[in-house]
Structure 1
Amino acid sequence: MGCTSCGTANGSKPGGCKSNGGCSTGGCNRMNTYDWLRNLPIADMDSHCNVVEVSFNKGTRKDFFRNTTVHFFEKGDLVTVEGVSGVDVGEISLTGEIVRLQMKKYGVKEGNPEMKKVLRTATERDLEQRGINKQREPEAVIRSRAIARQLKLDMKISQVEMQADGRKATFYYIADGRVDFRELIKVYATEFKVKVEMRQIGARQEAGKVGGIGSCGRELCCATWLTEFKSVNTSIARYQNLSINQTKLSGQCGRLKCCLNYELDTYLDALQGFPNDCDQLEVAKGRAYLIKKDIFKNLMWYSLPDSNKQYPLTIERVRKIKSLNRQNIVPEELEAVEVVSTKPKEVEPAFVDVVGQISLRSLERADKKRKQQRRTGPPQGNQAVAANQGVQGQQQKQGQNRGNHRPQQRNAGNKPQHQNPQRRRENNNNSNKQAN
């Protein structure tokens, strides 16, 4: 969803659109935050928060600015703020008391004297200049990658963000280790005529900036709401009894999916009820090895060396067998429980012969007409004469039409020039019989 679809290309600001929000609600931005303190009444204007949160580049970058103007900005307003050696244009994403909570979350102090300020509401000139500089970004990405390749630097330029006035450019790059880009900065400054800032990001941050649709069918979490990236390893998948399949567990960034961490705490809490020292059990048939733990049914699955079958055991049975093994007692059987599935069994539909059930209306009409003629028989008397006259009239019309199209090939009459006498005699006899 973009501003061109909801009618804000000409600077207007609708109250909402059909794409689950509008520019007033922040629905067109990434990393949008719901202002649940918006309706809180202002008790004292002196204690009111004068800091606003401004988002840049469709919400991929956010920063805090002090509002020193007399204007009261709302969410979705375009403002001109202080930049590096110039000005920048952004969009108000949060105002009011919730900004203080966001500043506390990111460790920003409200009374910081180095905090930049909001200059004014963005003018048409500011928006036009920002649009011109934003058009330079795709070309700058291609050119910057070529320069980095010429200098033989082990890095990848992911994105280039131009400041609204075109005086500064931020180059986001990905690298496995440290990169000496001192010579690269000089070349970039000479090539693009801007002040260069290099920022290293990871593969997850790159996926958040690019965006996309995940395997779940929804937008990527890193592109919509996830701001803190926690480490994900294969042990998390083992706790959840997931098969270690790199293609299924990896996201669009090539790393393990962040959503593997979402249910990890639930699994860890449920696994506390399972015994930890029961990886092996001694029975009469041999040594049974633990395969997996089912936290939903509170079962532990074991396998014996002489068969490929897996045996589900209850937690009480496992503890009892383990206590017997400590007393050097080997039980005869594992006493596996029977797992009954509550899922309804799908019944396959039987073969149905549909031959003769599908017919066309035109064929049905022709069949009905044919059956009616068989019942009534051939026409007799005056009906036969009328039918013969109707047929002759149609033939005459067809002959006239042919004569109009081909006047040189036909005579003035409808009859041909030459006709076999025997054929003419047979036609006369047939017409006399029909008349009788």
Structure 2
Amino acid sequence: MGCNSCSTGKDGQPKGCKNNGTCGTDGCNKLTVFDWLSNMSLPNGEKPFDIVEVRFKNSRKEFFRNSENLTLSIGDIVATQAQSGHDIGMVTLTGELVRVQMKKKKVRDNAEEIPKLYRKATQKDIDIWQKARDREEEIKKRSREIAIILKLQMKISDVEFQGDGSKATFYYTAEDRVDFRQLIKDMAKAFGIRIEMRQIGYRQEAQRLGGIGSCGRELCCSTWLTDFRSVSTSAARYQQLSLNPQKLAGQCGKLKCCLNYELDLYLEALKDFPSQDTKLFTEKGMAFCQKSDIFKSTLWFSYKDDPSNWHMLSKDQVIEIIGKNKKKEKVTSLEEYAVDNIVEEKVVFENVVGQDSLTRFDKPKRRNNRNKNKKRRNNRKKRQNNA
């Protein structure tokens, strides 16, 4: 849900606020929570909740105690407490809904270790913060070059500066443990800042960087998905998807999280569905299951001696045959049951504008030879006159 000024300009960037997804309304940010309690007033005698949610670069969000009782609203730029110095972030949530978010993320609101919110950011704070943000791409490129020179098996995916510009956090991914002590020394010497290295998973990397999925929409992990459940290839098997890594893998290189979305529905539908290993015994021979369609409740079987010829049976018909086989009774053939499932195909295209065929343009046009014949006649007459 973007703001009204987020129309696209000529260069593909947002035309209005020009903050590229970090606008003050917090309407087009990652993992945004809609404050549905903003229009509700507190009961008499109740004080507003003194903890606010602040978002930093990408999807990193933390909670800070408003000990100074500042009047804050969503979109305010604030200076917050850090391990050393201060950080700059944007307020994304205030009021009672923050308590709900803290309970969801299992953060106690009475904990003393909750950092403080210092003040609203001044123009000087914002200028320093913007200069630090502008250096991130250059430093990320340079740090990757240093890692390649040191032959470290790691990928530096993102750099995040602290609000005061005194510290930078480097997010990286790696298969094995990496000894980056020399890397920290070289980067601290080259950039003149304090360095912190933080390893993240491949799914967290895709969450931070964002992107467009194969469905044409923004990645779920960078917009609304907060917990990463394990995805196995069995989820694709239950949904009868081809085990093609190029189609099943997301931008993170792992199996797509959306494979779990409809898995419970498939598992529920498969409870009363015959198994893929089902064998049917008929007088013409034994038949194996080749394919099943959960939505249409149909299965395709073929004889052992004729695997290329498939017969479509309904779920009830298969259950009926299995019941007879359990009583050691054989049905005559699959063809008797398959005849009942033949459906006449309906013509979808109707000739409403007098067109004969949709493929009428595929036929080659006949050349008009009238002009050629005319020229030949004229040439013959000229030759006869000259003779």
Q: TM-score, normalised by structure 2?
A: 0.80
Q: Hey, what does 1:39 align to over in structure 2?
A: 39
Q: Hey, what does 1:269 align to over in structure 2?
A: 268
Query: Secondary structure in 2 aligned to 1:38?
Result: coil
State the shift of 1:303 in Å: 2.3
State the shift of 1:67 in Å: 0.6
Q: Hey, what does 1:251 align to over in structure 2?
A: 250
- Structure 1 letter corresponding to 2:184: I
* Contact 1:241 1:292 (C-alpha < 8 Å) held by counterparts: no
In 1, the alpha carbon distance for the partners of 2:357 and 2:322 equals 53
* Contact 1:281 1:289 (C-alpha < 8 Å) held by counterparts: yes
Q: Hey, what does 2:180 align to over in structure 1?
A: 181
State the shift of 1:197 in Å: 1.6
- Structure 1 letter corresponding to 2:349: E
Q: Which has the larger radius of gyration?
A: 1
> Is 1:107 the counterpart of 2:106 in the alignment?
yes
Deviations 1:251-300 (A, max 9, x none): 22222221111111111111112134862222223222223332222222
Q: Hey, what does 1:120 align to over in structure 2?
A: 119
State the shift of 1:233 in Å: 2.1
* Contact 2:173 2:202 (C-alpha < 8 Å) held by counterparts: yes
Q: 1:342 to 1:78 in 2, by over 3 A?
A: farther
Q: 1:206 to 1:314 in 2, by over 3 A?
A: same
* Contact 1:6 1:22 (C-alpha < 8 Å) held by counterparts: no
- How high is the sequence identity, in percent, across the aligned residues? 49
Q: 1:344 to 1:144 in 2, by over 3 A?
A: farther
Moved more, 253-262 or 152-161: 253-262
Q: 1:341 to 1:123 in 2, by over 3 A?
A: farther
In 2, the alpha carbon distance for the partners of 1:92 and 1:312 equals 59
Give the RMSD, CA atoms, in angstroms.
Answer: 2.9
Q: Hey, what does 1:54 align to over in structure 2?
A: 54
State the shift of 1:44 in Å: 5.1
* Contact 2:170 2:196 (C-alpha < 8 Å) held by counterparts: yes
Query: Secondary structure in 1 aligned to 2:286?
Result: strand
Q: Hey, what does 1:406 align to over in structure 2?
A: none
Query: Secondary structure in 2 aligned to 1:322?
Result: helix
* Contact 2:276 2:289 (C-alpha < 8 Å) held by counterparts: no
- Structure 1 letter corresponding to 2:128: Q
* Contact 1:82 1:117 (C-alpha < 8 Å) held by counterparts: yes
State the shift of 1:203 in Å: 1.9
Instruction: Count the aligned residue pairs.
Output: 343
- Structure 1 letter corresponding to 2:71: F
Q: 1:287 to 1:108 in 2, by over 3 A?
A: same
Q: 1:34 to 1:303 in 2, by over 3 A?
A: farther
Aligned residue runs from structure 1 range 336-351, under 5 A: 336=338, 337-338=340-341, 340=343, 345-347=348-350, 349-350=355-356
Q: Hey, what does 1:322 align to over in structure 2?
A: 322
In 1, the alpha carbon distance for the partners of 2:2 and 2:145 equals 31
State the shift of 1:208 in Å: 1.9
State the shift of 1:162 in Å: 0.6
Q: 1:315 to 1:2 in 2, by over 3 A?
A: closer
- Structure 2 letter corresponding to 1:167: S
In 1, the alpha carbon distance for the partners of 2:349 and 2:87 equals 61
Query: Secondary structure in 1 aligned to 2:325?
Result: helix
In 1, the alpha carbon distance for the partners of 2:214 and 2:92 equals 29
In 2, the alpha carbon distance for the partners of 1:117 and 1:28 equals 27
Q: 1:344 to 1:169 in 2, by over 3 A?
A: farther
Q: Hey, what does 1:69 align to over in structure 2?
A: 68
State the shift of 1:185 in Å: 2.4
Residue segments in structure 2 that go unaligned for 5+ positions in a row: 8-15, 362-387
* Contact 1:84 1:168 (C-alpha < 8 Å) held by counterparts: no
Q: 1:48 to 1:340 in 2, by over 3 A?
A: farther
In 1, the alpha carbon distance for the partners of 2:349 and 2:17 equals 43
In 2, the alpha carbon distance for the partners of 1:63 and 1:280 equals 57
> Is 1:232 the counterpart of 2:231 in the alignment?
yes
In 2, the alpha carbon distance for the partners of 1:154 and 1:22 equals 33
Query: Secondary structure in 1 aligned to 2:341?
Result: coil
In 1, the alpha carbon distance for the partners of 2:328 and 2:206 equals 57
* Higher RCO (CA 8 Å, separation ≥ 6 residues): 2
Aligned residue runs from structure 1 range 255-334, under 5 A: 255-276=254-275, 279-305=278-304, 306-334=306-334
* Contact 2:50 2:69 (C-alpha < 8 Å) held by counterparts: no
- Structure 2 letter corresponding to 1:89: I
* Contact 1:278 1:322 (C-alpha < 8 Å) held by counterparts: no
Q: TM-score, normalised by structure 1?
A: 0.72
- Structure 2 letter corresponding to 1:323: G
